[in-house]
Amino acid sequence: MTDERDAPELRRLGLEPADLDGHTIEQLTDYLDAGRMPADPTIDDSAGCRLALDALERLHAVTGRLMADDEAAEPEADESWVDRVLSGIVLDARSGRRIPIDSPSPVADLGITEGAVRGLVRAAENSIPGVLVGRCRLDGDIEQPGAPVRVLLDASVPYGDPISDVVQRLRAEVGVRLRAHTELNVTGIDIVIRDVRDPSSWSEEDRG
């Protein structure tokens, strides 16, 4: 569980300890590294932690590939983009606002959390190898059915792929996902590429 010593690490990412149901991103990373064994119900039973674990798993897969791509021994990944991705992951763990889903029943109140939708958007990176989504924001009154909503997200891409192609594919994938899983009136999907990752550009200092 989170204690006061852990709090600065989360706050460095612009987050609060409560965002991961009392756990830290390091605890979740250790749990992932241990193969999620022994099972910890305080993590497994937390939707926020599960969202973060899914995204951490993808992040680790990409950072692992980056290291494997480089023949030098265990270079440190550039912390700036890793931090941006991590801060987005933990942001997803916040349930945030509740987005309504229509029901024919007058006594039914159906919805999906903003955090679940951000996680859904982030998982679009599964479809485009090497792409990592950083922050994702839903801009608009998402609690009102039919209100216009813009999706704003940051991404990190591997060096070598034409950025316009990657953006086009990412935008299409995010659109498909939002249409399939929500009733949001998405009026735009704005993508900013914050980082182009090139392992060969890491400095000797970075390599340790």
Partner 1 sequence: MTELQQPSLAAQIESALRSAPGVRSVYRSGSLVSNLIGRGAAALGLGDGDEPLVAVMRDGESASVEASIAVDSAQSTTETVRSAQTVVERVLGAAGVEMSEIRLTVVHVQEP
- Minimum CB distance to partner 1 smaller for 82 or for 112: 112
Instruction: Tell me the C-alpha distance between 181 and 183, whole Å.
Output: 7
One of 8, 38, 41, 208 touching partner 1 (CB under 8 A): 41
Instruction: Tell me the C-alpha distance between 83 and 87, whole Å.
Output: 6
Identify the DSSP state of 94. S
Kindly state whether residue 174 participates in binding partner 1, applying the rule CB under 8 A: no
Instruction: Tell me the C-alpha distance between 145 and 204, whole Å.
Output: 53
- Minimum CB distance to partner 1 smaller for 161 or for 183: 183
Kindly state whether residue 148 participates in binding partner 1, applying the rule CB under 8 A: no
Kindly state whether residue 18 participates in binding partner 1, applying the rule CB under 8 A: yes
Kindly state whether residue 36 participates in binding partner 1, applying the rule CB under 8 A: no
- Minimum CB distance to partner 1 smaller for 96 or for 202: 96
- Minimum CB distance to partner 1 smaller for 45 or for 141: 45
Of 167, 207, 165, the C-alpha closest to 190 is: 167
Of 19, 154, 13, 134, the C-alpha closest to 85 is: 134
Strand partners, 136: 153
Kindly state whether residue 43 participates in binding partner 1, applying the rule CB under 8 A: no
Q: Do 137 and 152 touch, CB atoms closer than 8 A?
A: yes
One of 36, 98, 137, 194 touching partner 1 (CB under 8 A): 98
Kindly state whether residue 27 participates in binding partner 1, applying the rule CB under 8 A: no
One of 30, 45, 79, 165 touching partner 1 (CB under 8 A): 45
Torsion of CA 74, 77, 78, 80, to 10 degrees: -150
- Report CA-CA distances (Å) from 35 to 52, 57, 69: 15, 11, 24
Q: Name the residues that contact partner 1, by CB under 8 A.
A: 18, 21-22, 41-42, 45-47, 50-51, 54, 95, 98, 101-103, 105, 107-113, 115-117, 119-120, 123, 126, 177, 180-183
